[in-house]
Amino acid sequence: MNTNLIKRSLMAFAFAALLGACGEPPAPADEHGEEAGAEEFERGPHRGRMLRDGDFAVEITIFEDGVEPQFRVFPYLNDKLIAPGEVNLSMQLGRLGGRTDTFAFAPAADYLLGNGVVHEPHSFDVDVSASYAGATHKWTYASYEGRTTFEGEQADAAGVKVEAAGPAEIAETIAMSGRVELQPQGRAEVRAWYPGRIVTMTKSIGERVRKGETIASVTSAESLQTYAIPAPISGVIMERNSNVGDVAGEAAIYVIADATKLHAEFFVYPRDAERLRAGQAITVRNLSGATSAKLTIETVLPTADMLTQTVIAHVELPNADGATWRPGQAVEGEAVVGAHTAPLAVRTQALQRFRDFTVVFARIENTYEVRMLELGRRSPEWTEVLGGLEPGEVYVSENAYLIRADIEKSGASHDH
């Protein structure tokens, strides 16, 4: 069974239990995805949030059909639309971290249009001020999306790690597949020096031998003298092809393999081969990913396979114990063929899906909130951020899926 999966499941269970201990579970969501109870609010004819003060009311909507998100506010008197030019309206959005976005409004068709883009996430504390017929009306409300709060020790216990976003070296890599092979010096076929009858054979398949150790003796058919045959290398007997009493000729008596002398052979497509060079860094992994090593390309062979047009790249594999890598084993490689310094990057493992966005979760004190990202280049370790996150902003770099799970569980919705 996959031990990483078990570990992640246990962490998620523990995280949920810790959060559950913080207080009451969230109220069930209604059919529009909003939390019931304290978060429930009246919706208007345009499915926006209705704010009332006596006979006067405004309906707050965020419109983003074919345009960047914008506020459209519909004014009412006694539940009937009134001319938007008769209303002066302003709005302030208090975002997590202390930033405030201010919007002025102007008439457009039958609504008041905000003078800026409502940037993601649509998560803020809202102050609304409206003047109509000499009277001023004010409202405040919270509209949160992709946000959750809990104590730091609970996140620590669940394995949630954070770090500040900043510059990073993003490697440009080429992925390859291959297999582990014995190096030529790691394989020896042991033959009789002169034709004759085999007198002794001291080793069986699977036994280890030392270089210079006598492993067979043969009586020469010409001189009738018996001579010893030593092991030419240290290793393990892979084949025993004869027995005592057989006549030794040109066929190998034994085959010895030294599993400490291995290399990986990677099959490289023509479009990638031009970018590979000896000395480039490469990470070699087994197919499960449980075993990996950071190495360098030893050589790229100059010839191509006639049928596939692939070329072979060799990477020497350290294998001192003779068991980390095994001949014939399939492996994957990721060769570094270039590098790019990104002014702002996050760890690739931190990226999560939220609605239709790729996101990370920013942390401010004990509150975590989604950040929708515009992304650039990517490597297995780092991903460049082009927008949506500020330099130095602290984000969840490990086990971010636990934060996403808690936000999804709480029903933090997209309030339009």
Q: Dihedral of the CA atoms 56, 58, 59, 65 (nearest 10)? A: 140
> Is the same domain home to 102 and 211?
no
> Is the same domain home to 75 and 136?
yes
pLDDT tens for the chain, residues 1 to 416:
444 444 444 444 445 444 444 433 333 333 333 333 345 899 999 999 999 999 999 999 999 999 999 999 999 999 999 999 999 999 999 999 999 999 999 999 999 999 999 999 999 999 999 999 999 999 999 999 999 998 888 889 999 999 999 999 998 899 999 999 999 999 999 999 999 999 999 999 999 999 999 999 999 999 999 999 999 999 999 999 999 999 999 999 999 999 999 999 999 998 898 899 999 999 999 999 899 999 999 999 999 988 889 999 999 999 998 889 999 999 999 999 988 999 999 999 999 999 999 999 999 999 999 999 999 999 889 999 999 999 999 999 999 999 999 998 876 555 55
Peptide bond into 45 cis (omega under 30): no
In a domain, 415, yes or no: no
> Is the same domain home to 376 and 301?
no
In a domain, 15, yes or no: no
The per-residue pLDDT for 35 is 37
Structure tokens belonging to residue 280: 């480039």
CB-based contacts of 120: which residues, under 8 Å, 6+ apart? 69, 357, 372, 388
CATH number of the domain that residue 315 is part of:
2.40.30.170
- Looking at the structure of the chain, the number of domains it has is 4
Could you read off the pLDDT of 339-379 as tens digits, one per residue? 899 999 999 999 999 999 999 999 999 999 999 999 999 98
CB-based contacts of 164: which residues, under 8 Å, 6+ apart? 392, 393, 394, 395
Q: For residue 415, which amino acid is it?
A: D
> Is the same domain home to 60 and 126?
yes
> Is the same domain home to 120 and 217?
no
d(CA 404, CA 205): 55
**Which domain range does residue 120 map to?**
24-145
The per-residue pLDDT for 416 is 53
d(CA 220, CA 248): 9
> Is the same domain home to 361 and 243?
no
The per-residue pLDDT for 318 is 94
> Is the same domain home to 106 and 234?
no
CATH number of the domain that residue 132 is part of:
2.60.40.3340
In a domain, 13, yes or no: no
> Is the same domain home to 178 and 314?
yes
CATH number of the domain that residue 245 is part of:
2.40.50.100
> Is the same domain home to 376 and 321?
no
> Is the same domain home to 243 and 272?
no
> Is the same domain home to 97 and 168?
no
Distances (CA, A) of 17 to 151, 237, 402, 405: 13, 55, 12, 13
> Is the same domain home to 131 and 268?
no
d(CA 35, CA 349): 30
What pTM did the predictor assign?
A: 0.67
In a domain, 4, yes or no: no
